[in-house]
Amino acid sequence: MKVGDRRQIVVAADAEALARLAAQRLIARIELHRERPAICLTGGSGPQRMFELLATEFADRIPWARVHWFISDERFVPFDDPLSNMGTIRRVLLDGRAPPDNIHAIPAGDSASPDEAAQRCERDLQTFYGATALDPARPLFDLVLGGVGPDGHTASLFPGWPQLEVTDRWAAGVDTAHVAPFVPRITLTFPALASCSEMLFLVHGAAKREIVGRIFAGADLPAGRARSNGETTWLITEDALPEAVRDR
Ligand code: 6PG
């Protein structure tokens, strides 16, 4: 389903179907990039089943030595804290499969402040990219995964927060979260997230129906603003899809 604003909606029957479709799209993006694919993962519940599938039945389809893994946002907690996004993904998916040098965690666990962690994250991204300015013709990431929070946030870009307006940095510190868990965060900014071949939102569960409806009705919320310079797809389960969006 095309929604007329450069976004596409793909409907999955349920959370299991969504996880399988997402895993297949992630692998397809890796296959399109013959050298050094860059995948930007996300925290939250949305991708957890996909991570399990990638670690098990899809594991043989990933050229682990070549793929580099990033994260769209991080909580300012130690690496082994259960709230750490990359810590969780390492345990479920990356550890023992991805070479350690290919795992680009945001350095929340050993930075003095969210801003310092954001600066170190930006330097790591720029070293990987090989430039300090993003070239629209050369995406930073092959795939950026996203989710939507109950308040319409994505990554740690919260409604009304100043990080939404940051256009000259690739990552930013966020001193106060807008929703639980109320720990400081580090987030990639809109321009860094947009520099991808595909941005793929994963949304499941009836609790998401209202916020999805608001976003596609045009509310100015971060998850609605987030767009890839390439393709932007929302992968939504039947139970999270509002009637008004289905009928578009
Ligand atoms: C985080 C996430 C966040 C998440 C949304 C949706 O660190 O919390 O990166 O942006 O994607 O809150 O989360 P769910 O998938 O759990 O609804």
Predicted confidence pLDDT, tens digits, the chain (248 residues): 656 567 999 999 999 999 999 999 999 999 998 899 999 999 989 999 999 999 999 999 999 999 999 999 999 999 999 999 999 999 999 999 999 999 999 999 899 999 999 999 999 999 999 999 999 999 999 999 999 999 999 999 999 999 999 999 999 999 988 888 899 999 999 999 999 999 999 999 999 999 999 999 999 999 999 999 999 999 999 999 998 888 76
Could you tell me if the CB of 73 is within 6 A of ligand 1? yes
Could you tell me if the CB of 114 is within 6 A of ligand 1? no
Gap between the Cα atoms of 72 and 74, Å rounded: 7
Instruction: Specify whether the CB–CB gap between 173 and 184 falls below 8 A.
Output: yes
101 Cα: distance to centroid of ligand 1 (angstroms): 25
CA-nearest residue, atom 4 of ligand 1: 44
* E strands, 161-244, in order: 171-174, 185-188, 196-203, 231-237
44 Cα: distance to centroid of ligand 1 (angstroms): 4
CA torsion, ordered 206, 49, 28, 232, to nearest 10 deg: 30
Given this model, what pLDDT does residue 99 score? 98
Could you tell me if the CB of 43 is within 6 A of ligand 1? yes
Instruction: Specify whether the CB–CB gap between 202 and 237 falls below 8 A.
Output: no
Gap between the Cα atoms of 164 and 173, Å rounded: 12
Gap between the Cα atoms of 53 and 113, Å rounded: 34
Using one digit for the tens of pLDDT, what is the confidence trace for 167-226? 999 999 999 888 888 999 999 999 999 999 999 999 999 999 999 999 999 999 999 999
Given this model, what pLDDT does residue 101 score? 97
Given this model, what pLDDT does residue 247 score? 72
Given this model, what pLDDT does residue 215 score? 97
β-strand 196-203 against 231-237: which pairing, if any?
parallel
Could you tell me if the CB of 19 is within 6 A of ligand 1? no
Q: What is the pTM of this model?
A: 0.96
Gap between the Cα atoms of 69 and 11, Å rounded: 26
Quote the DSSP letter at residue 239. G
Instruction: Specify whether the CB–CB gap between 48 and 92 falls below 8 A.
Output: yes
Instruction: Specify whether the CB–CB gap between 236 and 212 falls below 8 A.
Output: yes
202 Cα: distance to centroid of ligand 1 (angstroms): 10
Given this model, what pLDDT does residue 4 score? 55
Gap between the Cα atoms of 35 and 67, Å rounded: 8
Given this model, what pLDDT does residue 1 score? 64
**Which amino acid type is present at position 223?**
A
In which order are the strands placed within the sheet that holds 73-75?
73-75, 185-188, 171-174
Locus of tokens 């450069």? 6
